Structure 1
Amino acid sequence: MKVLIAGGAGFIGSTIASACLDAGVTPVILDDLSTGRAEFVRDRIFYRGDIADRQLVDRIFAEHPDIEATVHCAALIVVPDSVAHPLRYYRENVGKTVEFLDALVANGCDRFLFSSSAAIYQPGDDFAVDETSPVAANSPYAHSKAMVEQVLQDSARAYALRVVSLRYFNPVGADPRMRTGLQLARPSHVLGKMIEATRTGEPFQVTGTDWPTRDGSGIRDYVHVWDLAEAHVEALRRFDTVLAPGRAGYEVVNLGTGNGTTVRELLTAFTNVLGRPIETRLSPRRPGDSAGTYTRSERARELLGWQPRLSLEDGIRHSLQWAELRDSRLGAADQELSAADSAADGHRPALTPSPRSA
């Protein structure tokens, strides 16, 4: 099987590509490298460009007519940034997805996996949600995911298109083989902020301590990114079982552990893995923040035969390992990619791995 992965040079997309390769699935990666990394597409079929570039998407399908499905995880994802720049998020996440989807329909690619988000949910009193829970996004980022889901539902009714929308909870960790990890030097999510605090000595800020949770801090469902990637492989393998061929359809599946962990509980787990405490500071909620949710759904197990295998501690451990390796793994390919830019138009040759990246 060959699949197109939009955003396949980013943290989650590159991990999905690795899981595909391990499972014998060939990824074809489309990424503009605005946040993705050239190092993450070494020795992989890679096209550098925008998902809204119709000519490029047509070219990909002309050169790879055996693509059987698309995984769409190209998006901007920082909640406070979306509050400050909503038009950018609607343009990048919604407008460009419409253009991308139009090209996919025209090229006859009828299997579509969408990277959605549990941020769209309205949490219940216990913060647990399933796929039937009300949608009540509270940030432009979350609204953009909900809007794309509506576009996909309408498109699945109108065209020869089958869509599985995978609603992610909170990815942590890195590829256990350390091929890829979080590409940002200063990530905005909570675990990244904890790791940054260990490296800089700056206090970790618990943003929001008055939520109606058991300890006042936000609650999340932290799922290892490798488990998340393997869920995509299972969704690709079982796509025709979940949604029968020849019949347009739309299905939603939560991807989480089913365990709600508060920020304070995550901090305790983090310091246990780290082996020492870190300084903390209590801070107000950030714009666009929510109390959080965790999944109570069994649909991923029932439809995909998937359940998480890696623990929260595994995710913390792998995140710490990647943070130690990140600076040595990233950087050299930026210059290599610049050289490759002059060698081809759209399709980039595979970059030769250096010994430190093998």
Structure 2
Amino acid sequence: MSVLIAGGAGYIGSTVASACLDAGVTPVIVDNLVSGRREFTEGRVFYEGDIADGALVDRIFSEHPDIRAVVHCAALIVVPESVTDPIGYYEANVAKSLAFVGHLHRNSCDRLIFSSSASIYRAEDGSAVTEDTPLALQSPYARTKAVCEEMFADIAASGKMRVLSLRYFNPVGSDPLLRTGLQMKRPSHALGKLIQAHQEGTPFPVTGVNYPTRDGTGIRDYVHVWDLATAHIAAIDGFDSILTESMPSTAINLGTGSGTTVRELCTAFNNVVSTPLETVDTDPRPGDVAGGYTASNRATTLLGWTPKLSLEESIRSALDWIPVRDTLLKD
């Protein structure tokens, strides 16, 4: 059995591909390498090209008739960039996704697992969200994800496709076997900034200490990228029992279910490194919010999935990945 992974040369997609290999499933990757890395496709079935290219998609299905499902990770994902280039983001994330689904339907593929995002929730007050929490779209990037979910739901309701949208919270860490990880040398998320401060020997600024959270600092839901990948395997295995004629589409939050505050993240980091990192309390940055996390059990109920790896394991794998990344990726 094969699974087509659109965007399979990126951070999430390549890790899903590794999980497929470990589960005895052949990943077939299509990626235009705008942000994905060719190095992450080594030894894997790989087609370089665009998901909107109908002739390419037709060729992939012709050459791999055993493709059972599609994991759609292909997207532009940088929030500030989406603000300055909304046309490019709607073209890449929405228009091309619509074309892609048309190509899948033409090739009689009706199982689609869509990489969505928890950025579609507001999550400003440190509270938990579920899949039924009202959406509050705060960037063009978030809107492209929400538009795609609604578009796919409409298509599913017509009987042409079944779609499972997986709403990721904050992926961290790397493939435990260090086959793939984050492409960027300087990730902009909190763990990336912690690692940078530790490498440079400077205190880590805790931006905001008066939020309505358990210790006053911002809260996020960090989930190990390998746990995310195994959730996709569960989705592939259970797809036909989850999505039926009466429920052809649904969304599932993927997170830890508890969230981690900035202070807790710093403590977990210091539990992993040999030289403790110092922190300094500072004022919130403009636009910062308390954050949030998922409190849903839908992933457990529908997928039979719960995250297995700890925050410390996420941090350790992120640190272990750095020298591998610097060797594997030349820029």
Q: TM-score, normalization: structure 2?
A: 0.93
Matches within 5 A, 1:1-358: 1-123=1-123, 127-201=127-201, 204-209=204-209, 211-244=211-244, 249-280=248-279, 282=282, 284-285=284-285, 290-331=289-330
Q: C-alpha offsets along residues 202-254 of structure 1, whole Å, 9 cap, x if unaligned? A: 5544455554333443211111111110010010000011013x667101111
Whether contact under 8 Å (1:160, 1:247) holds in the other structure is no
C-alpha deviation, 1:201, in angstroms: 4.1
Describe the shift of the 1:283–1:76 C-alpha distance in structure 2 as closer, same or farther (beyond 3 A): farther
- Secondary structure at the aligned position of 2:43 is classed as coil
Specify every segment of 5 or more residues in structure 2 that has no aligned partner in the other structure, as ranges.
none
- Secondary structure at the aligned position of 1:252 is classed as strand
Whether contact under 8 Å (2:126, 2:218) holds in the other structure is no
Give distance in 1, aligned partners of 2:96 and 2:65: 23
Give distance in 2, aligned partners of 1:8 and 1:311: 25
Give the letter aligned to residue 278 of structure 1: L
Q: Provide the aligned length of Structure 1 versus Structure 2.
A: 330
Whether contact under 8 Å (1:119, 1:292) holds in the other structure is no
C-alpha deviation, 1:177, in angstroms: 0.8
Give distance in 1, aligned partners of 2:242 and 2:162: 10
C-alpha deviation, 1:83, in angstroms: 2.6
C-alpha deviation, 1:196, in angstroms: 2.1
Q: C-alpha offsets along residues 263-311 of structure 1, whole Å, 9 cap, x if unaligned? A: 2321221122113233556364365x54322111111111111111100
- Secondary structure at the aligned position of 1:9 is classed as coil
Give distance in 2, aligned partners of 1:61 and 1:248: 26
C-alpha deviation, 1:142, in angstroms: 1.3
- Secondary structure at the aligned position of 1:4 is classed as strand
**Structure 1 stretch 268-277 or stretch 222-231: which is displaced more?**
268-277
Q: C-alpha offsets along residues 147-174 of structure 1, whole Å, 9 cap, x if unaligned? A: 1111111111124200011111111111
Give distance in 1, aligned partners of 2:140 and 2:279: 29
Whether contact under 8 Å (2:125, 2:292) holds in the other structure is no
Give distance in 2, aligned partners of 1:224 and 1:83: 28
- Secondary structure at the aligned position of 2:249 is classed as strand
Give distance in 1, aligned partners of 2:283 and 2:92: 30
Describe the shift of the 1:48–1:269 C-alpha distance in structure 2 as closer, same or farther (beyond 3 A): same
Give distance in 1, aligned partners of 2:84 and 2:211: 23
Describe the shift of the 1:64–1:32 C-alpha distance in structure 2 as closer, same or farther (beyond 3 A): same
Whether contact under 8 Å (2:126, 2:212) holds in the other structure is no
Whether contact under 8 Å (1:28, 1:45) holds in the other structure is yes
Describe the shift of the 1:89–1:285 C-alpha distance in structure 2 as closer, same or farther (beyond 3 A): farther
C-alpha deviation, 1:126, in angstroms: 5.2
Describe the shift of the 1:22–1:285 C-alpha distance in structure 2 as closer, same or farther (beyond 3 A): same
Give distance in 2, aligned partners of 1:57 and 1:122: 36
Give the letter aligned to residue 187 of structure 2: P
Q: C-alpha offsets along residues 70-96 of structure 1, whole Å, 9 cap, x if unaligned? A: 000111222233233333222221222
Identity within the alignment, %: 61
- Secondary structure at the aligned position of 2:188 is classed as coil
Give distance in 2, aligned partners of 1:279 and 1:81: 32
Give the letter aligned to residue 26 of structure 2: T
